[in-house]
Amino acid sequence: MAEPLVVLSGVNKHFGDLHVLRDINLSVDRGEVVIVIGPSGSGKSTMCRTINRLETFESGSITIDGKPLPQEGKELAQLRADVGMVFQSFNLFAHKTILDNVTLGPIKVRKKAKAAAEKEAMALLERVGVAHQAQKYPAQLSGGQQQRVAIARSLAMEPKVMLFDEPTSALDPEMINEVLDVMIGLAKDGMTMIVVTHEMGFARKAANRVVFMADGQIVEQATPEEFFTNAQSNRAKDFLAKILTH
Amino acid sequence: MGELFAQFDVWSAFGQTLYLAFFSAIGALIIGTILAIMRVGPVGIFNKAGAAYVNLVRNTPLTLIITFCLIALHYQLKIYLAPEDSPTSIVDNGVRWAIVGLTVYHAAFVCEALRSGINTVPTGQAEAARSIGLTFTQSLREVVLPQAFRGAIAPMASVLIALIKNTTVAYAIGVAETAAFMRDGLEFRPDLSFLIFVLVAGFFVLLTMPLGIALTHLSQRLAVKR
């Protein structure tokens, strides 16, 4: 059995007095799709962001593909290139065209030639269904289209693992599925994914494992089927009762 | 009007003002950008040094800075910016020290204008830049600064306009620019005082107003749509 791709062990973090991550232990295997759910303020987004060190942590360790997370500088940048990240608010580069958004990383970080990068970018934009918008600017696209471009931008780096921080929470309801469809496609293609989301449908369709967090701790983990039908902890039962009654 | 131009070298005074403004503006843009990067960067000591510079310089009168340059740095410490033995040494040193003073002073304001531009760039932009593996310098150069410059054009216009008018302070150290012409004109031709005032005011308005209009237009045209 190969070693897990992402390993968090004993990770702790405080925001001032607030202990946002309490002794987090989590390992994610290659090709695995892990959903992180939990009430707001449970630390799930913070955990997701510590994995590529957009958030610092105080104790514990995080390794990706066997390598511990570097502190700062060039090494950290190199590691981040291997970890894709999709944000709640898309964060496309507002002053660049859709195509330039996707080619920036491959050209500047992977040192690819412009023509090759653009060809690959167009293929990726085709895959997420926004190739015809390549020359537009982010503000000219709908939220769902922007988020699909953001996914293409991450994919262009050929990441080992992709992090999704509530990728559909800022979208209008009718646009959620177009983004989830792309994500389901990625999961089927074997991408390792850690997804913070409240989309239970996606969890059931694409996830290998559900991780439930509350108050900065991982309370329980199980397969989606098991978790949704037979949650063990009271916190999880309480949470599920609140979101599944609607 | 013809009398004035015959008696005083008005054109060379205007030229000197333009010369001062042009080189001080370039210097202030360069140093101000460096200061802004220091202030927003991840290195604590640079943050503090940048903040100390801005707070010290911004709160000191320009007249003091320019006279300090000439009297303390040049006369007292014998720092020459133009060769000591050249026939135009006194004039050249005066002009160059005036440019240094103007540069140092306005760099603080350029820095703050740029920082206000940087504040128009949402943090998510820098996070996204870092998350695709760009280094700190790359994410500044490719993502944050291009947007920050656009957001800074409007406040920068105010700084440039102030700089152009502030070149008149160079007359405190004897540079023969427009304010020096005004002083001489008022002293020797008090009968033409109204004309002199109107001429000098007209010169500055002619210089600054198109600049203001152009930069406002530019800031609207280049505005980053969010």
β-pairing, A83-86 with A67-68?
Answer: unpaired
Residue B41, pLDDT score: 82
pTM confidence score: 0.80
Which of residues 140 through 159 in chain A touch B, CB cutoff 8 A? Answer: 140, 150, 153-154, 157
- Determine the Cα–Cα distance for residues A40 and B191; give it in Å rounded to an integer: 78
B123 pLDDT higher than 60 = yes
Q: What residue in B sits closest to A152 (Cα-Cα)?
A: B132
Find the mean pLDDT for residues B117-135. 93
The two three-digit tokens of residue B141, written as one number: 């150069």
Summary mean pLDDT of chain B: 93
Residue A245, pLDDT score: 65
Reported as a single tens digit per residue, the pLDDT across B52-94 is: 999 999 999 999 999 999 999 998 998 888 888 888 888 889 9
Summary mean pLDDT of chain A: 93
Model confidence band, residue B206 (pLDDT cutoffs 50, 70, 90): very high
Residue B136, pLDDT score: 87
Model confidence band, residue B40 (pLDDT cutoffs 50, 70, 90): confident
Residue A204, pLDDT score: 87
Q: What residue in B sits closest to A85 (Cα-Cα)?
A: B131
Find the mean pLDDT for residues B146-154. 90
DSSP B223: P
Backbone angles phi, psi at A192, to 5 degrees: -80, 125
Residue B188, pLDDT score: 93
- Determine the Cα–Cα distance for residues B218 and A67; give it in Å rounded to an integer: 48
List Cβ neighbours of A94 (8 Å cut-off, separation of 6 or more).
A137, A138, A139, B125, B147, B224, B225, B226
Contact B226 A52 (CB under 8 A): no
Contact A105 B42 (CB under 8 A): no
Residue B16, pLDDT score: 95
Reported as a single tens digit per residue, the pLDDT across A167-196 is: 999 999 889 999 999 999 999 999 999 999
- Determine the Cα–Cα distance for residues B56 and B49; give it in Å rounded to an integer: 10
All structural domains of chain A with their residue ranges: 6-244
A77 pLDDT higher than 80 = yes
Contact A93 B133 (CB under 8 A): no
Q: A127-131 long-range contacts, Cβ below 8 Å, gap at least 24? A: A127/A152, A127/A155, A127/A182, A127/A185, A128/A152, A128/A182, A129/A178, A129/A182, A130/A98
Contact A72 B225 (CB under 8 A): no
Q: How far is B188 from chain A (nearest CA, A)?
A: 56
Tell me if A204 sits within 8 A of A224, measured CB to CB.
Answer: yes
The two three-digit tokens of residue B151, written as one number: 């957001």
Closest CA to A157 of A9, A40, A52: A52
Tell me if B158 sits within 8 A of B116, measured CB to CB.
Answer: no
Q: How far is B127 from chain A (nearest CA, A)?
A: 7
Residue A246, pLDDT score: 57
- Give CA separation, B110 vs A81, A231, B119, B130, B219, in Å: 34, 58, 14, 26, 16
Contact A109 B134 (CB under 8 A): yes
**A27 forms bridges with which residues in the sheet?**
A7
Residue B155, pLDDT score: 92
Q: What residue in B sits closest to A106 (Cα-Cα)?
A: B132
Which chain B residues have a beta carbon less than 8 Å from that of A105? 132-134
Reported as a single tens digit per residue, the pLDDT across A84-137 is: 999 999 999 999 999 999 999 999 999 999 999 999 999 999 999 999 999 999
Determine contact: A92 vs chain B, CB below 8 A: yes
A14 pLDDT higher than 70 = yes
Contact A77 B42 (CB under 8 A): no
Tell me if B97 sits within 8 A of B169, measured CB to CB.
Answer: no
Closest CB to A80 among B130, B143, B225: B130
Backbone angles phi, psi at A209, to 5 degrees: -150, 145
Angle between helices B10-40 and B89-118 (to 10 degrees): 40
Q: In a 10 Å sphere around its CB, with 0-12 CB exposed, 13-18 middle and 19+ buried, how is residue B214 labelled?
A: exposed
Coil, helix or strand at residue A8: strand
Reported as a single tens digit per residue, the pLDDT across A38-47 is: 998 899 999 9
| CATH architecture entry for A6-244 | 3-Layer(aba) Sandwich (3.40)
All structural domains of chain B with their residue ranges: 10-222
Contact B131 A78 (CB under 8 A): no
Which chain B residues have a beta carbon less than 8 Å from that of A137? 225
A1 pLDDT higher than 80 = no
Find the mean pLDDT for residues B106-125. 93
ipTM of the complex: 0.91
CATH dotted code for B10-222: 1.10.3720.10
- Give CA separation, B13 vs B8, B162, B183, B185, in Å: 9, 18, 12, 12
β-pairing, A83-86 with A33-37?
Answer: unpaired
Q: Counting one residue from A and one from B, how many pairs have CB atoms under 8 Å apart?
A: 79
